[in-house]
Amino acid sequence: MSSHPPSRKSNNNVCLQVPNEKCGFEYEDDSVRSRGIWFVLTWLFGIICILLLATIVWMSAVDKTNDIRKDECIPHNDVISDVKSQERGKRSPELSLKFRKTNGSDVFEELTKDELDTIVRYLHSDPSLNLVAPNKPAVNTNYIHTIEMKMPYKDEVIAYLNGSIKKPERAATVFIFRGADDPPSVDEYKVGNINGKIYAHLVHTDRRHTHIPFIYRPFSTAEFFSIFRYILPQVTKQAGHVLKESYDALPMNCDKKCLKISMAPVSSTFIPEGKRKSWFWFQQDIEFASIRSLDFQFLVDTTSTNASNWIIEDVFYANQMFPNLTYFLEEYERGSINKTKIPFPSEEEQTWSTMKFRTPLVPDVPFRAPRQFEPDQRRFKITDNEIHYMDWKIHFRVSTTGGLHLMNIRFAGERIIYELSMQEVVVMYGGNNPYSKTMNYADGAGIYGTRHRGLLPGVDCPGHAEFVNNYLYSYNEGGGRMYENAFCVFEFNTHTPIRRHRAYGRSGALFGGLEGIVLVVRSIISVLNYDYVFDYIFYPVGAVEAKVSMTGYLGTTFYFPEDHLYGTRIHEHVSAPLHNHLFHFKVDMDIKGRQNRYETLNIKVRQEEDQWVQGRTVHQAYVVRELKETELSATYKYNFSSPKVHVFSNNNDISPLGNPRGYRIQIQKMAKQLLPEGYGFENAISWSRYQMAVTRYKPEEDRSSSLFTMWDAREPVVNFQKYLDDDDSLVDEDLVTWITLGTPHFPQTENLPTTTVVGTQLSFHILPFNYFDEDPSMRSRDAVRITPLNATRPLEGANVEQYGALENVQCVPWHKYPMELLKKNSTFLFS
Ligand SMILES: *[C@@H]1O[C@H](CO)[C@@H](O)[C@H](O)[C@H]1NC(C)=O
Ligand SMILES: *[C@@H]1O[C@H](CO)[C@@H](O)[C@H](O)[C@H]1NC(C)=O
Ligand SMILES: *[C@@H]1O[C@H](CO)[C@@H](O)[C@H](O)[C@H]1NC(C)=O
Ligand SMILES: *[C@@H]1O[C@H](CO)[C@@H](O)[C@H](O)[C@H]1NC(C)=O
Ligand SMILES: *[C@@H]1O[C@H](CO)[C@@H](O)[C@H](O)[C@H]1NC(C)=O
Ligand SMILES: *[C@@H]1O[C@H](CO)[C@@H](O)[C@H](O)[C@H]1NC(C)=O
Ligand SMILES: *[C@@H]1O[C@H](CO)[C@@H](O)[C@H](O)[C@H]1NC(C)=O
Ligand SMILES: *[C@@H]1O[C@H](CO)[C@@H](O)[C@H](O)[C@H]1NC(C)=O
Ligand SMILES: [Cu+2]
């Protein structure tokens, strides 16, 4: 028990959550206190309470180490009922630091540490690959960039799942950077039969490039290391006096007044063929640099694999561009430039960009916020790599390059979704200064799997969530390592009823309702300044929602008056430019099997004769069903004037009422790609042209984006448009749906110090559409039905049916920051 603000007296954090009773606080109002006691007594004598106590006593007996007080919730973490969970280790109330135990037993499971070690040993033993370990980062070496499980093709997986073949071989996708080769390249390898006679070969497919120009490689530690070794010292040596005069700070040997370097890659379409260039600029190295941008910028040509040949090209300073550093310095000496002068922020001036608490604090008394807990015990479980929750069963994997993928999502025993995954996160900026004009980030370069880490219980996910760790291999993180608290799973009461109805009349009265209870699978990635919260939400009605919320810091530029055209001046010297956030998702649905079709229900309006009233014509809406026969005819660009319902169904499974059983996809927030098709960076993210697109499943059309998207627009490694251009038939085929979410973000001063998730949540729903004959949530115990005892006298007592769910539970919410643990060891959060 730990985190009490000093002014709060708490009875060991254990108290009765009774209305008006303020939980162990010094309390002045006696009437409130006695009311509290009255509630306690009522509660103590409640029959349901006795049931609960019996459960508690039983559970205490199960776990002797846990001295449960009768007014305390059962800390479910200690009474996990299933054997597998116990195998994973009993979780301390603070936080589990146990590693997820995996043994590669399942077809969806990521590679285990042993498997990764085997692959690394095997590849390193091949002299022709000439590989070096990740501990000596240099651009002109050959090294393994990432390793991840290569999923067997869907045919095989499904045959394995239905028991008709034995387990497919374990295989891996490996990206090898070959900076030492001439010409240098990045190559995609398949390493197969990992646990047997292992082999490796370059992947060949016409669906993407697998032998990739080295200039398209994502930034790696090797490259950052070289920037720090070769470029920064050069800039500091030649222009250090400018930085000192302008900002009273330096990038090196700087003690307390330091400059941080930030970087924006220039996509290949904006520069001559065969070149690789990035813009760099300085920021004050304080909390937090991304909103502390300064005006000294320079473009570096990093085409050579020999970093000592990298060239500093254009320099931008004081709203002027100079063709080279020497020329800039001459002009600077000559006094023809209006020098920028920004004093290094004092302690006090630093505050606005920090997340330090502001005063006066709200509320003025540190009463705790409402919080959620699980009164009985956890109602879902996670076994190896599968989540079990009510009618849902979900496999998962965390791919090193792709992040969290949910696989084989079943409801009531039937697969509905084979794969649900995020494909790419993009931010496209504009602005006055040179780097903003070509600043487009595709965060895949940041290696999504490694960004899943460090979720904080109590803030990022509820304290009662279960956290999952992952072991992944990436060069940027020094090889194989554990990522703790990579994602979390929790059951959650939204307290928006999922359904309800209240009716009252002479014929009787009735109330029926279902609490808003869902399962959330959450991951959060931080890339540079931004944080994205990804939720996959599972509803008792058989629906799934995918949602992304944005937070973190703005990306900014140094303010010049011209920036008014592009964004908002958010501080004296800081402008935040308009930008467009885009997200791409893959949904591989299988509705009653793999042979599905895609139809739109087009809502139209027409004028028609009213056959019931002579001579009257009416305007009214009607529906035209349009079967989408091929990929190109199935691309969807939102049009306000022609609303559509997007239905995916199985034509071999028609309900007795004549409705094909199906699911539909409904997108809540879309953004249009405003740039011309094929222009610049847009060419690398051709998926963003469509709010939705549907393709026929092809094993090699696995992803819509790649590690290389930030750089490869001239010749995209994965070109999504190509998936569509072969215009395959979509009728009664295995269909994959690709969904773009997005929003333009026009920054505002309220985005200081950070942007918040409020108003930045984008989502789509995957909803049953005549799939069930009746809402499956009608079986939920979380529902209630209330009817009068006597239908003709509804005011004289009612009957409450709760289907057995324990109610009126009063106990301690299980919500704590892992405070004690963090004081001793904050590895899980910051590593
Ligand atoms: C892997 O674990 C599962 C259960 O978690 C077990 O049934 C299987 O035998 C294990 N496989 C190996 C190769 O250890
Ligand atoms: C198992 O799946 C495979 C591949 O989809 C299919 O060909 C086969 O008929 C299925 N077998 C059974 C027993 O369902
Ligand atoms: C890299 O370039 C520098 C300067 O041009 C040269 O001295 C050095 O030998 C080169 N290194 C390699 C490994 O080619
Ligand atoms: C730098 O730019 C100036 C002005 O365009 C030019 O005269 C000079 O040759 C350039 N120097 C180098 C080293 O490119
Ligand atoms: C420098 O500042 C003066 C006064 O504001 C302005 O008139 C002049 O145009 C500026 N020069 C440059 C090169 O921006
Ligand atoms: C939008 O839909 C309307 C009504 O069907 C149609 O007339 C119009 O051409 C469509 N606009 C575009 C851009 O396709
Ligand atoms: C319900 O109330 C009506 C009107 O008072 C009465 O006649 C009837 O017997 C009651 N029914 C039952 C089942 O109690
Ligand atoms: C801190 O925790 C990490 C796991 O998060 C563990 O590997 C490490 O040994 C711990 N360090 C200490 C000093 O306990
Ligand atoms: Cu934004």
- pLDDT, tens only, 161-173: 988 999 999 999 9
Q: How far is CA 291 from CA 286, 480, 684, 698, in A?
A: 10, 33, 28, 44
Same domain, 6 and 71: yes
List phi, psi (to 5°) of 293.
-70, 145
Return the CATH number at 171: 3.10.450.40
- Considering 168, 187, 216, which residue would you say is the last residue of a domain? 216
Alpha carbon of 789 to ligand 7 centroid (Å): 9
Distance 345 CA to ligand 7 centre (A): 80
Q: Is 156 in the pocket of ligand 2 (CB under 6 A)?
A: no
SS3 state at 334: helix
Q: Which residues pair with 659 in a beta bridge?
A: none
The lowest-confidence range among 18-27, 75-84, 210-219, 665-674 is 18-27
CB 518 within 8 A of CB 511: no
Smallest Cα–Cα separation from 523: which of 604, 409, 403?
A: 403
Ion ligand 9 — residues with CB < 5 Å: 745
CB 319 within 8 A of CB 295: yes
Report yes or no: 327 and 463 within 8 Å, Cβ to Cβ. Answer: no
CA distances from 782 to 74, 268, 776 (A): 19, 55, 13
Phi then psi dihedrals of residue 661, to 5 deg: -75, 135
In angstroms, what CA-CA distances link 292 with 285, 288, 353, 558, 572?
8, 7, 8, 8, 11
According to DSSP, residue 230 is labeled I
Q: Are residues 12 and 64 in the same domain?
A: yes
Atom 6 in ligand 6: residue holding the nearest Cα? 641
Co-location of 124 and 37 in the same domain: no
> Is 230 among the residues known to form the active site?
no
Cis peptide before 183 (omega within 30 of 0): yes
Do the domain assignments include residue 120? yes
Residue range 401-406: mean pLDDT, rounded: 97
Report pTM: 0.87
In a domain, residue 197? The reply is: yes
In a shared domain, residues 148 and 194: yes
Q: What is the pLDDT of residues 408-431, one digit of tens each?
A: 999 999 999 999 999 999 999 999
Pairing of strands 644-654, 597-609: antiparallel
Q: Does residue 74 sit in the same domain as residue 33?
A: yes
CB of 828 closer than 6 angstroms to any ligand 8 atom: yes
Domain membership of residue 61 (yes or no) is yes
- Let me know if residue 554 belongs to a domain: no
**Does residue 200 share a domain with residue 132?**
yes
Q: Give residue 46's pLDDT.
A: 33
Distance set, CA 581 to CA 25, 59, 267, 441, 549 (Å):
46, 49, 17, 10, 11
Mean pLDDT over 42-68 rounds to: 34
For the stretch 67-122, pLDDT in tens is 333 344 444 433 333 333 333 333 333 333 344 445 556 899 999 999 999 999 99
Question: Structural domain tally of the chain?
Answer: 2
pLDDT in tens, 561-589: 999 999 999 999 999 999 999 999 999 99
Mean pLDDT (whole number) for 283-297:
96
Same domain, 77 and 120: no
Q: Does residue 293 have a pLDDT over 60?
A: yes
- Residue nearest to ligand 8 atom 13, measured at CA: 825
> Are 62 and 120 found together in one domain?
no
Per-position b or e across 508-522, b if 16+ CB within 10 A of its CB: ebbebbbbbbbbbbb
Please provide the size of the chain in residues: 831
Q: Is the same domain home to 162 and 70? A: no
Q: Tell me which residue range forms the domain holding 25.
A: 1-82
613, HSE (Cβ side, Cα atoms, 13 Å):
5
Q: Quick one: which atom of ligand 4 is closest to the CA of 322?
A: 2
User: Is residue 803 a part of any domain in this protein?
Assistant: no
Which of 62, 82, 102 is the C-terminal boundary of a domain?
Answer: 82
C-alpha Rg value of the chain to the nearest Å: 30
Q: Is residue 169 part of a domain?
A: yes
Distance 639 CA to ligand 6 centre (A): 6
pLDDT in tens, 45-54: 333 333 333 3
Residue 662 lies in a domain: no
CA of 155 to the centre of ligand 2 (A): 9
- Of 200, 216, 232, the position where a domain reaches its end is 216
**d(Cα 518, Cα 491) in Å, to the nearest integer?**
6
Asked whether residue 236 is assigned to any structural domain, the reply reads no
Higher per-residue confidence, 549 vs 59: 549
Same domain, 128 and 199: yes
159 and 120 within one domain: yes
